[in-house]
Amino acid sequence: MRLLLTSDTHVPKRARDLPGPLWHAIEAADVVVHAGDWVDVALLDRMEARAARLIGVYGNNDGPPLRARLPEVARAELAGLRLAVIHETGPAAGRERRCAARFPDVDLLVFGHSHIPWDSVAPGGLRLLNPGSPTDRRRQPVATYLTAEIRDGKLVEVALHPLPRL
């Protein structure tokens, strides 16, 4: 199962649209995960139309129309992998411990908010991934998103993809 992970798209505030390579990756994925800060419901509509399956949450920059359609926390089982998605996990210091305590029954937690890619494993085995942002790189050298695969209930082939400047 091919996954695409993205977050903090901020369309149309930070960019008019998502970069072309990200749209291609969305269309190629079996499941697209968006960890919040869409900003406009039009992007949600477009992504739902182009993704085979979409799992998303709202972020702190998402208003009532997005909050009416998306949860604060999403959970799914994908090919034997237990997934949770949330926008914000708090400060980097202590993140693994906090998230492992909050999500004890999860194999993978996808989060956003910082616009900074993150890949770590908490005590007990919880994998934490933040794909960064494809439109607002903040203090990062490039904008990014993640892809991964699930095989035999395990997350494999996790790759961070840099994007060209818009």
Which of 14-18, 43-47, 82-86 comes out lowest in average pLDDT? 14-18
Closest to 30 in 3D by CA, of 73, 71, 76 = 76
Which domains, and CATH codes, for the chain? 2-163 (3.60.21.10)
53/165 Cα distance (integer angstroms): 27
Residue 42 confidence (pLDDT) above 90 = yes
CA atoms within 13 A on the CB side of 52: 12
pLDDT at 137 over 80: yes
pLDDT tens profile 12-36? 898 899 999 999 999 999 999 999 9
Supply 98's token pair. Answer: 């906090």
> What's the pLDDT at 164?
81
pLDDT at residue 166, rounded to an integer: 59
Reported pTM: 0.97
The token duo for 19 is 């970069």
For residue 139, what pLDDT band results from cuts at 50, 70 and 90? confident
Q: How far apart are CA 133 and CA 113, in angstroms?
A: 9
